[in-house]
Amino acid sequence: MRMQQVSKQFGSKQVLKSIDLDLQPGHIVGLVGENGAGKSTLMKAILGLLPINSGTVTVFDQQITLSRHASLDRVGALIEYPSIYPFLSGRKHLHLFAADNTSQARVDEVIAALDMNDYIDRQAKNYSLGMKQKLGIALAVLNQPELVILDEPMNGLDPKATHQVRDLIRNMSQNGATVLISSHILSELEKVIDDIIILDQGHIVRNEPMQTLSNESVDYLVLTTSDDAAAKKVLRDSQLVQSDDLANDPRVIFAKTATDTLAQAITQLTAANIAIYDVAHEHNDLETTLLNVLTADQTEVPHA
């Protein structure tokens, strides 16, 4: 899938701004950003569900417009909420949407992978939110698509179901499918993705391997003391710790790489009769790193 200089406006609001994007075969790609960043619009543009104002979208070497394209038969998608027929069972949904070359064995495989056997023959109107969500995911992956687009697939899922969906996504990737996932549940997203795209105000801020972004995360050592306020003053006055580290966090905190500084700090605090009760290790998760990236981007000159 390739997007070249794709822009999209709703009235006077430009939602996508000159997007250039390539998705590599077999990669699991996370699409993240704040509400209103343009994530769902980007996904709909790939699927030809929205007209774009400029640029091109190419899926399997075929340019996508609002017309139906054969290349989309190789794509599976769940956008926003699953569309289901309330009086049909889950099994009948799967049979209805199965391609001619999709076997009964494949239907059974998907049902088992998502642990749907207990309710698959009940009418969908009786399904819980999580059951409906799993049915939507099952429909998206049923025909073994080469490109899978999932918008907030973890919504309404319990931990067991979330684990099942992760396994299903990994299995599809191992079989060569490209998977694009948008999710606000960043702690789950970072467990499964290979690459990450950060979208902000309609433009791509980052498009890189997840490991590259993870390398920007900082490991911290956090001290619990008898008087944190006094401890921070001692450390600030001695210039052992950067002022920003102390100012941006109510705790006594160090970058883990500063082990020499930590040893000196313990000496200083002990000399000041401040007891140290604990030294804990913390690591910035994807959410914290994402917020840092977005904050940095939004303090720059606004993009046209």
Is residue 120 within 8 A of residue 49, CB to CB? The reply is: no
Q: Render pLDDT for 233-253 as a digit per residue (tens, 0 to 9).
A: 888 887 766 655 555 667 777
The SS3 of residue 248 is: coil
Same domain, yes or no, for 198 and 142? yes
Average pLDDT score over the chain: 88
Residue 93 · residue 84 · CB < 8 Å:
yes
- Which phi and psi (to 5°) does residue 76 adopt? -120, 145
Q: Which residues pair with residue 59 across a beta bridge? A: 62
Verify that 202 and 169 share a domain, yes or no.
yes
Q: What type of residue is 146?
A: E
Q: Are residues 279 and 171 both part of a single domain?
A: no
Ramachandran region, residue 32 (left: φ > 0; alpha: ψ -120 to 50; beta: rest): beta
Q: Which among 208, 234, 266 is the end of a domain?
A: 208
30 closest CA partner among 129, 167, 176, 150? 150
Residues 300 and 298: their CA atoms lie apart, in Å, by 5
Average pLDDT over residues 227-238: 85
Per-residue tokens: 21:
């994007």
- Whether 277 and 226 have beta carbons less than 8 Å apart is answered as yes
| Cα 239–chain centre separation | 39
pLDDT at position 177 is 97
My answer on whether 198 and 264 are in the same domain is no
Which pLDDT score is estimated for 301? 47
Determine the Cα–Cα distance for residues 238 and 255; give it in Å rounded to an integer.
17
Q: Is residue 303 part of a domain?
A: no
- Distance between CA atoms of 279 and 262, rounded to whole angstroms? 10
- Tell whether the model's pLDDT for residue 186 goes beyond 90: no
How far, in Å, CA of 32 to CA of 38, rounded?
A: 10
Whether residue 186 sits in one domain with residue 106: yes
- Do 197 and 233 reside in the same domain of the chain? no
Task: Give me the sign of the Cα torsion angle 206, 211, 215, 218.
Answer: positive
Asked if residue 179 lies in contact with residue 167, where contact means CB atoms within 8 angstroms, the answer is no
Cα–Cα distance for residue pair 303/193, rounded to 1 Å: 28
Q: What is the mean pLDDT of residues 138-150?
A: 97
The band of 71, judged by pLDDT with boundaries at 50, 70 and 90, is confident
Please say whether the dihedral angle defined by the alpha carbons of residues 180, 186, 190 and 191, taken in this order, is positive or negative: negative
| Backbone conformation region of residue 116, classed left if phi is above 0, alpha if psi is from -120 to 50, else beta | alpha
pLDDT, tens digit, 9 for 90 and up, residues 242-292: 655 555 667 777 666 655 677 888 888 999 999 999 988 777 777 777 777
Residues 195 and 149 in one domain: yes
Is residue 297 assigned to a domain?
A: no
**What pLDDT score does 106 carry?**
96
Residues 136 and 228 in one domain: no
Q: Residue 178's domain spans which residues? A: 2-208
Return left, alpha or beta for 108; rule: phi > 0 is left, psi -120 to 50 is alpha, else beta. alpha
Do 6 and 147 belong to one domain?
A: yes
The answer to whether residue 166 is domain-embedded is yes
CA-closest candidate to residue 71, choices 58, 84, 53, 82: 58
CATH at residue 36: 3.40.50.300
DSSP class of residue 41 equals H
Question: What pLDDT sits at residue 176?
Answer: 96
